[in-house]
Amino acid sequence: SQQGEEDPQALSIQEGENATMNCSYKTSINNLQWYRQNSGRGLVHLILIRSNEREKHSGRLRVTLDTSKKSSSLLITASRAADTASYFCATDARGSNYKLTFGKGTLLTVNP
């Protein structure tokens, strides 16, 4: 089964609204990354948060990590139509050293 599970599976909002996506995982991790994928093609790295961090910001993105609940959230503020994409969390499990395990993703649609 997937290490990371995102929810919701799909999210539709209006431009200007905030979008929140969640990721849960099963095993202890070194870090967690969020990626974006447009049109079913290559993924683009958004942000990485380490296991000893609780919150991280990058532009309109805010990521939180709760290792006690084994969960993370990605908040996109003031969404734009161009933010429409699938968003994946990827975990680097302790002991894996390099292998990222991806969830199934959240499909975000931002309506103009």
Partner 1 sequence: GAGVSQSPSNKVTEKGKDVELRCDPISGHTALYWYRQSLGQGLEFLIYFQGNSAPDKSGLPSDRFSAERTGGSVSTLTIQRTQQEDSAVYLCASSLGGGGSDEQYFGPGTRLTVT
Residues that bind partner 1 (CB under 8 A): 2, 4, 30-31, 33, 35, 40-45, 48, 50, 88, 90, 92-93, 96-105
CB of 56 to partner 1, least distance (A): 13
Of 15 and 102, which has the nearer Cβ to partner 1? 102
* Alpha-carbon span 112 to 101, nearest angstrom: 33
Three-state secondary-structure class, residue 83: helix
Q: Which amino acid is at 11?
A: L
CB of 31 to partner 1, least distance (A): 5
Of 68 and 98, which has the nearer Cβ to partner 1? 98
CB of 22 to partner 1, least distance (A): 15
Of 5 and 15, which has the nearer Cβ to partner 1? 5
* Alpha-carbon span 11 to 91, nearest angstrom: 22
The single residue listed with the structure tokens 């990721």 is 23
- Count other Cβ atoms within 10 Å, centred on residue 112: 9
